[in-house]
Chains A and B, each alone.
Chain A
Amino acid sequence: MEFKLTKEQEAITRMIREFAEKKLAPIATQIDRDAKIPPDIHPELRKLKLFGIPYDKKYGGGGESYIELVLVIEEVAKASAAVSVRLAAHYLAPISLSLYGTEEQKEQCLPKLCSGEDIGSLAFTEAATGSDPEAITTMAELSGDDYILNGSKRFITNAPLDGLAIIFAKTDNGVTAFIVNKNQPGYSTSKPWEMMGLRGGQVADIQLKDVRIPKANLLGPEGKGYRMLTELIAYGKLDMSACLLGIGGAALDEAIKYAKETTARGKPIANFQTIQWLVADIETQVEAARWLVYRLAYLASQGGDIRHQSALTKLFASEMATEVTSKALQVHGSYGYTKEFKIERLYRDARVGEIIEGVSEIQRVIIAASLLR
């Protein structure tokens, strides 16, 4: 057992941190305010080859492990959680194809996804589904050699951005996943939701009106969509946990900076034991989450079932992020409640962790179910 990064992993952290500090941090407030990531950011992310890190080299991926992936997400999230979530949501498409795609589907779809020319989405949630996947109403009906999709999806990240979406719909024998081109006739999206945090993430509803999908674009075994979803979302939880780790790390940095720079009666507030305890708690929680996240990345790289471990990692990482951003805000006092300070954004960005990729309550259900079966 060795708890340390390799030299190349350290180099990735160093270089992506430099990129994030130079290119993302200066515009993070603007991204949050305008709920929009400026268009020149995407080509920069592509140049660094961030869209295909762990996928097979044969299809244009980086062929690296999930450790490299989470290190990248973590550093990006420290500067701008919105940008990190664009990446995290994207990865759900290439992982879907990597796990379930046929040779032809991989050859056709993965190179563009891995290069970032196509931006990925995964669309399961509907107005009624959320924690209850059986309530799915989007339909796929066979018509000759094609399926015709009708229905709508809610809160889908990256939905308005060009590329591919993996869309789940009801078929005769259950729920089935489809590869859908987001430029296809009949595919349209709502105005992005005005969100509390992760602003700029482009989360929108999808309307599907007679979207014609050739049989060749059916992904994985027909009717086995639920099972696929639980496996795919486990990777989503890994990526999301890395975002939350980045948010937590940023909160720690902000708390330390503020505590050292701000004085009360001529002395830095860092001299107060109350502040010291807050900072100590923040680091303790962030480090605990860090090693859960890195371990989950390691497990994912080994292959195998990560559903149980990803549930407990995301559960812990999300509660960590809401708690440490709250504590770091407390270190700032009233200033932390103003838009002048980064911690205000971090506090809002963190909150979604306990909701997306399955609410915390459902994570507890999953964990308990695997223990008490």
Chain B
Amino acid sequence: MNIIVCLKQVPGTNDVRLDPETGSLIREGVPSIINPEDRNALEKALLLREEHGGNVVVISMGPPQAEVALRDALAIGADEAILLCDKAFAGADTLATSFTLGSAIKKLGHFDLVLCGTKTLDGNTGQVGPQLAELLDLPQITYARRVEIQGEILKAERVFEEGYELMETRLPALVTVTREINEPRIPSIDQIMQSYREKEVKTWGAAYLGLYEHSVGLDGSATKMSKIYKPEFGKGKVEFIEGSMEDMAQGLLAKLKERNLI
């Protein structure tokens, strides 16, 4: 079983600080980590490899320092790591990101399963997995909290707020996982050392992937970020409406009507 795991390096904090002048993320002093759900995706890949044999490739698009996330993934147990890194990839929106990841996955050739996190801590769009599935023409299951494979069939529990769905698909497929799915392992000291000293992270750029600069990065993006800012927290009273989904919706509706807002 050949499994590809997409992982993104993100700032390891919820307290994102923005430069008030430029609106860009202040990365200094903020340690970077593997996006938490991507750790779950990697863990699932390793568990499937333990059960069915095979190979786990981790792939990330990011700046040169994202190599650290891939080294950590190698320490944790991935077999191969590929960093998609090129000045031309900078400023990518989710579409350009998916396109670049998809091109690299096509280049890798044969695979049975692509695993992604559901959402990232920073961008938090949840779009990359589904877009990637479309680009690769794969069946997709999102928000999976349980995944198992029997022969050519993948079964998954797909969670949503009020319950879950049981899904089934043929392989190859793409699945995005939630944090509930497992508890990611932590590598031992010697695994960390081996990964950093002995293993290889391959770097692929636009030219290697045969991609034109206008189809990747900022130029390949369908959306442009015009402004990014942190919401100011105003003063005021906060009221929590509690109860079942139904009760909360009714409660909210009543409040909004009460104030003539709808």
Complex: chain B residue closest to A10, CB-CB = B68
The prevalent SS among residues of A at the interface is: helix
B186 and A53 form a contact (CB under 8 A): no
A7-45 interface bits toward B, Cβ cutoff 8 Å, 1 = contact, 0 = none: 110111011001100100000000000000000000000
B68 and A49 form a contact (CB under 8 A): no
| Interchain pairs with CB closer than 8 A, number | 47
B210 an interface residue at 8 Å Cβ cutoff? Answer: no
- Using Cβ atoms and an 8 Å threshold, which residues of chain B touch A64? 189, 193
B188 and A14 form a contact (CB under 8 A): no
The size of the chain B interface, using a CB distance under 8 A, is 16
Q: How far is the CA of A6 from the CA of B195 in the complex (A)?
A: 13
Q: How far is the CB of B7 from chain A (nearest CB, A)?
A: 15
Out of B31, B189, B197, name the residue touching A48 (CB < 8 Å).
Answer: B189
A211 an interface residue at 8 Å Cβ cutoff? Answer: no
The size of the chain A interface, using a CB distance under 8 A, is 20
Q: How far is the CB of B194 from chain A (nearest CB, A)?
A: 9
A62 and B186 form a contact (CB under 8 A): no
Complex: chain B residue closest to A260, CB-CB = B15
A49 and B188 form a contact (CB under 8 A): yes
B71 an interface residue at 8 Å Cβ cutoff? Answer: yes
With A48-B189, A49-B188 as given contacts, are A8 and B197 in contact (CB-CB < 8 Å)?
Answer: yes
A-B contact pairs, 12 of them (CB 8 A): A6-B196, A7-B196, A8-B193, A10-B68, A11-B68, A11-B196, A15-B75, A48-B186, A48-B187, A64-B189, A68-B189, A72-B189
Query: B-contacting residues of A (Cβ < 8 Å)?
Result: 6-8, 10-12, 14-15, 18-19, 22, 47-50, 53, 62, 64, 68, 72
The 8 closest A-B pairs by CB, nearest first: A8-B196, A49-B188, A49-B189, A19-B186, A48-B188, A11-B192, A15-B186, A49-B190
13 additional contacts, CB 8 Å, given A7-B68, A8-B197, A11-B195?
A6-B196, A11-B72, A11-B75, A12-B192, A14-B31, A14-B72, A15-B75, A15-B186, A48-B189, A49-B188, A49-B190, A64-B193, A68-B189
